Amino acid sequence: MGRDVHYILNLIKNHQFCRKAIQQIHAQLVFITAENTSSPASAIPILLTLWNSLIRHYSLGIYPQESFLLFKHLKFQYGRIVFFDSFTYSFLIKGSANLGEFRVGKQVHCLSLKDGFESHVYVQTALVNMYGECGVLGEAKKVFDEMPVRNWVTWNALISSFVKWGDVSVARGLFDLMPEKNVVSWTGIIDGYTRMGRFDEALSLFKEMVVVEGIKPSEVTLLAIFPAIWNVRCLECCRMIHGYGEKSGINAFDIRVVNSLVDAYAKCGSMEDGVRAFEDISDERRNLVSWTSVISGYAMHGMAKEAFDSYKMMMDEGIEPNRITFLSMLNACSHGGLVDEGLEFLRKMVDEFGIQPDIKHYGCLIDMLGREGRLEEAEKIALEIPNTMSNVVIWRTLLGACSFHDNADMGERVMQKIMEMENKYGGDYVLLSNILAGMGRYVDSEGVRRVMDEQNAIKAPGISFT
């Protein structure tokens, strides 16, 4: 037993996470070991429970590998006298799922079969989930098919696996086959449709779930349905969800739902409702995401002053902005024509908050400078973006600005740059040829068109969802 304690002590030393829990378990282990030095075998049932807890903590941590190491060690030491139970295997399988590595999970799977868990619902369901999480859907389906007994969780685990990997039609097939569906099943399939951009189907399923089946949506259901709501700009849906959230108490206990509501109102065109929802949040619950949601709402509504005020109030409450807050502020500056303020925000972000700009910040900046016709500065920044990060979108933004402000010289330089990065996209040729034609340089314009034809670049017709 002494070697055990040593081993576990080493594990604990190596990691800081779950420290308290592990220390408690460790203390108990030492205690039990001391109590039972004369007959270690009698301590095994209690020890198994503690080992299981330890394995559980490791499997949930950032280094699930440790749970396998511990298991291996215990198996090697006590394999002859200890029989691991369904808890041990559930935790180990969960650990493999968190690791995202199905080869490890496969080994645990084999061991669990050897120990006789081939028809244990919890262990087998954990396996379905593990294979599903790892994207080995064939294997997940196989385990599912061979299970003599399944429960709701088993079905839902398989459905969410197919949703996760983008196969909504198979998920839907399973959903339709399910003898009884609960809120998790409905949420899973609704989430699948939302993620695939099939918003109308997501909304009609949501309606069917609530109206026809009388199933109460959970907070997860609401979080899943929000993107569908604002993509179809359904203000009425926002109000209904808002009311339901208040009545059911979901708004009171899940700040994420209220924050999404603020965001959804803004995206559906009603900043007034968004602000009202935001102002209803108590000071203690209002967090960074709440503030960023309202700021981004103001930004998209062109209300730069309000965005600035909110930013200031947020700072006064001692909440630190992050990269998304700054992106929203840049967006507000861009829409309000406040170029210098925007540049100042970027400086603050880097110097005072130590946040390095990413490609979206740069994109916003170039868009902002480009709108105001400060093309030289925009080009200078575009050239300064590290190559590893830079993309063709940045240059297309600049090209658009060149087109808007009739700067053909820079347009040609930018075009050159775009061709270097990606010489098959027709839209840029069209844009440049339009710039040249707009300036009366028809011969050059024609030349660009010809190059375009020679390269077989085809401009995809523009599509707008709005």
Q: How far apart are CA 337 and CA 330, in angstroms?
A: 10
Please state the closest distance from residue 88 (CB atom) to DNA, in A.
8
Q: Which is nearer to DNA, 147 or 343 (CB)?
A: 147
Q: Give me the least distance between CB of 53 and DNA, in Å please.
A: 5
5 or 50: CB nearest DNA: 50
Minimum CB distance to DNA smaller for 56 or for 417: 56
Closer Cβ to DNA, 30 or 324, answer by number: 324
Cα 219 versus chain centre, distance: 17
| Nearest distance from C-beta of residue 3 to DNA, angstroms | 23
Cβ 432 to DNA, closest distance in Å?
28
Closest distance to DNA from the beta carbon of 185 (Å): 7
Instruction: Give whichever of 327 and 369 is closer to DNA, judged by the CB atom.
Output: 327
The tokens describing 163, both together, are 């949703």
Q: Hey, is 150 helix, strand or coil?
A: coil
When the beta carbons of 146 and 446 are compared against DNA, the nearer one is 146
Tokens 């399944």 found at: 150
Nearest CA to 236 out of 273, 263, 210, 196 is that of 273
CB of 49 to DNA, least distance (A): 4
Q: Which is nearer to DNA, 323 or 441 (CB)?
A: 323
Q: Which is nearer to DNA, 18 or 451 (CB)?
A: 18
CB-based burial label for 57 (10 Å; 0-12, 13-18, 19+): buried
Shortest reach from residue 97's CB to DNA, in Å = 6
* Closer residue to DNA, CB minimum distance, 311 or 429: 311
Q: Footprint of DNA on this chain (CB under 7 A)?
A: 49, 52-53, 56, 86-87, 89-91, 94, 97, 121-123, 125-126, 129, 151-154, 156-157, 160, 163-164, 182-185, 187-188, 191, 195, 218, 220-221, 223-224, 226-227, 255-256, 259-260, 263, 267, 287-290, 292-293, 296, 322-325, 327-328, 331, 360
Asked if 410 and 435 touch (Cβ cutoff 8 Å), the reply is: no
Shortest Cβ 14–DNA spacing (Å): 22
Given a contact cutoff of 8 angstroms between Cβ atoms, the answer to whether 232 and 199 are in contact is yes
Encoded tokens for 111: 């061991």
Residue type, 314: M
The CA dihedral of 288, 293, 298, 299, to the nearest 10 degrees, is: 90
Minimum distance of DNA from residue 337's CB (angstroms): 18
Enumerate residues 6+ apart whose C-beta is below 8 A from 278.
262, 286, 290, 293, 294
Pairwise CA distance, residues 256 & 317, whole Å: 19
Compute CA distances 294 → 150, 195, 245, 357, 368, whole Å: 45, 24, 19, 22, 21
Q: What is the DSSP letter of 216?
A: P
Angle at 63 between CA 88 and CA 184, to 5 degrees: 65
Distance of CA 343 to the CA centre of its chain: 29
